[in-house]
Structure 1
Amino acid sequence: MEEIRTAKYLVRGDIQLDKADTYEDLGASEKKLKKELEDIRKDLGEFQDTLYAHGKYGVLVCLQGMDTAGKDSLIREVFKDFNVRGVVVHSFKVPTSLELKHDYLWRHYIALPERGKFAVFNRTHYENVLVTKVHPEYILGENLPGIESVDHIDGAFWEKRYQEINAFEEHVAKNGTIIFKFFLHLSKEEQRQRLLRRIELKQKNWKFSPGDLKERKLWDAYQKCYEEALSKTSEDHAPWFVIPADNKEAARVIVASIMLEALKKYKDIEEPELDDEIKANLETFKQELEKET
């Protein structure tokens, strides 16, 4: 199997998605990719145990992508070996009436991971510069001061949002949250095939929505918005990675590998030492328990 080079997927500066790969097989069969993922996710699960014991960092994993990009199945497969109490998944839908009474980052802030845990955002705070940019009328539902019509939503408005998102991520990173952001880069043809499977396979019918076809017609607009968002918000403390998503097995291995490689660099994350007094009396405690038999 080919070596996974993190830098290949890292966004640095402006990106053109039409020049980025959507397919990767890493020179390995599906069986070998699945085995590789099993090994990596076991290591990730062990790391999470140590992260919990250490108790000073949390990990935020952000997943974005067009419909059918494979976010749900990636979450299921990559985090399969985690203690279920160690990872929390948040799937952000259309904002509720309560959420709309707060600023657009509020619902994401309160979902950030506790120290010692992973949180996965299945769709993220970036929806606020993606869906809302393609459909600026949605912004009117936020009832913002000075925004009375879509005519008031100009380039300066979006620049301000990018700055706010960068500041939000910088703040949480400085307070112990390790941030990963993955864009699952799907080709338009692969999306067509996956939508067809949702229609043709009865067990997948529930996933299909006519709205998917309406959004598909706006493919080019979404790609442009993704390019701008990725280019303007990939920072050292919160980097974006563009992951080829046409091959789900390879995409999962790449995402898991990038996380494990980065997390291993945190040499200060280790299980705490027992108190000296407790350590000195471990044999006494052991004998006390053995006497109970």
Structure 2
Amino acid sequence: MAKRAKLDDFRVPFFDGGKGAKALSLADFDPSSKPFSAGSKQADRERLTAYAARLDEMQERLHAQRRERVLLVLQGMDTSGKDGTIRAVFHEVDPLGLRIATFRVPSPDEAAHDFLWRVHRQAPAAGELTIFNRSHYEDVLVPRVRGELTSAEIERRYAHIRHFETLLADSGTAVIKCFLHISKDEQRERLQARIDDETKHWKFDLADLEARRQWDDYQAAYAGALAATSTEHAPWYVIPADSKSHRNLMVAALLLRVFEGLDLEYPPAKESLKGLSIT
């Protein structure tokens, strides 16, 4: 009998401060696999609907309690589905207490500060679920591929990120990081679909083709960053993402597990409201 897949089978090994990062190869993860699929796209969507309803309840408790914080980081190559994941997983979630932060090329003001300055400002407040659509990891991935920073500078940034995420965890933030792992062939199909559909031209950027030509360099950069920054309090998970429905289901399952591990209860009932009748 085949071994049943577990979520933690897709967790990147934790960084060992004494020994450093364990070598990680993304080739060990099949982006086309669907280990948590319910059997069909329709069945996956039905299961996702159930997960989304449960997430809605848990997120409402989070916001009502205003004590815990949750941060979900979504990273991946172009077309890996960061926007699609947000739309699919959170369509049932009450927007109250839900916030999405997107990180693009730093503005002149942002670039004048340290690379984490703009990120820390977007960290979740008490009672918030915040989603980073791209994140502080852009500042170790892109510079590495473009050769803008030395290896020593990249390693220092990895250390800064580990310390930053430790600060978030120590301040009551549950951090979960998902690398949406697609294949080069799947990316080609998704980019071509954007070109073939005029209504999607706005989503296409010629810079995407340059990044695609550097595919292997970006895969190596991701592998290095994930290995150096996956920790017990801020783990990385590799999400097979060629299947959109499977991708959404797995991210929802991971997030739901995080929520269920928190002590989330509604605030005590108010004695002053008992017996009150509205006329």
Q: TM-score, normalised by structure 2?
A: 0.92
Percent identity for Structure 1 against Structure 2: 39
The residue type paired with residue 15 of structure 1 is L
Q: Within the alignment, does 1:250 sit opposite 2:246 as a pair?
A: yes
Partner of 1:158: 154
Kindly state the Cα deviation for residue 262 of structure 1 after the two structures are TM-superposed.
Answer: 2.3
2:53 aligns with one of 42, 56, 79: 42
Q: Distance in 2 between matches of 1:4 and 1:53?
A: 34
Aligned pairs for 1:185-264 (under 5 A) are 185-264=181-260
Q: Deviations over 1:17-48 (max 9, x none)?
A: 01211013325111111111111011001101
Q: Distance in 2 between matches of 1:29 and 1:4?
A: 17
Q: Pick the structure with greater CA Rg.
A: 1
Kindly state the Cα deviation for residue 4 of structure 1 after the two structures are TM-superposed.
Answer: 5.9
Aligned length: 267
Partner of 1:265: 261
1:122 aligns with one of 124, 128, 133: 133
Partner of 2:6: 5
Q: Distance in 1 between matches of 2:244 and 2:4?
A: 18
Instruction: Judge conservation of contact 2:241–2:247 (CA < 8 Å) in 1.
Output: yes
Partner of 1:149: none
Q: Distance in 1 between matches of 2:23 and 2:255?
A: 23
The residue type paired with residue 266 of structure 2 is E
Q: Distance in 2 between matches of 1:192 and 1:46?
A: 38
Instruction: Judge conservation of contact 1:50–1:271 (CA < 8 Å) in 2.
Output: yes
Partner of 2:19: none
Partner of 1:274: 269
Aligned pairs for 1:10-21 (under 5 A) are 10-12=11-13, 13-21=22-30
Kindly state the Cα deviation for residue 246 of structure 1 after the two structures are TM-superposed.
Answer: 0.3
1:68 aligns with one of 79, 86, 94: 79
Q: Distance in 1 between matches of 2:259 and 2:198?
A: 40
Q: Distance in 1 between matches of 2:91 and 2:52?
A: 7
Instruction: Judge conservation of contact 2:174–2:258 (CA < 8 Å) in 1.
Output: no
When residues 27 and 260 of structure 1 are mapped into structure 2, their CA distance, relative to the original with a 3 A threshold, is closer
Q: Distance in 1 between matches of 2:68 and 2:233?
A: 14
Instruction: Judge conservation of contact 1:4–1:254 (CA < 8 Å) in 2.
Output: no
Kindly state the Cα deviation for residue 221 of structure 1 after the two structures are TM-superposed.
Answer: 0.5
When residues 78 and 51 of structure 1 are mapped into structure 2, their CA distance, relative to the original with a 3 A threshold, is same
Q: Deviations over 1:201-229 (max 9, x none)?
A: 12211111111111100001001111110
Instruction: Judge conservation of contact 2:67–2:126 (CA < 8 Å) in 1.
Output: yes
SS in 1 for 2:99: strand
Q: Deviations over 1:122-170 (max 9, x none)?
A: 1100011101111233xxxxxxxxxxxxxxx422211111110000000
In structure 2, runs of 5+ residues without a counterpart are 14-21
Instruction: Judge conservation of contact 1:4–1:257 (CA < 8 Å) in 2.
Output: no
The residue type paired with residue 72 of structure 1 is D
Of Structure 1 and Structure 2, which has the larger fraction of its residues in helix?
1
Partner of 1:141: none
Q: Distance in 2 between matches of 1:85 and 1:50?
A: 11
- Per mean C-alpha deviation after superposition, the further-off stretch among 20-29 and 94-103 is 20-29
Q: Distance in 1 between matches of 2:211 and 2:233?
A: 32
Instruction: Judge conservation of contact 1:129–1:158 (CA < 8 Å) in 2.
Output: yes
Q: Distance in 2 between matches of 1:209 and 1:255?
A: 27
Partner of 2:172: 176
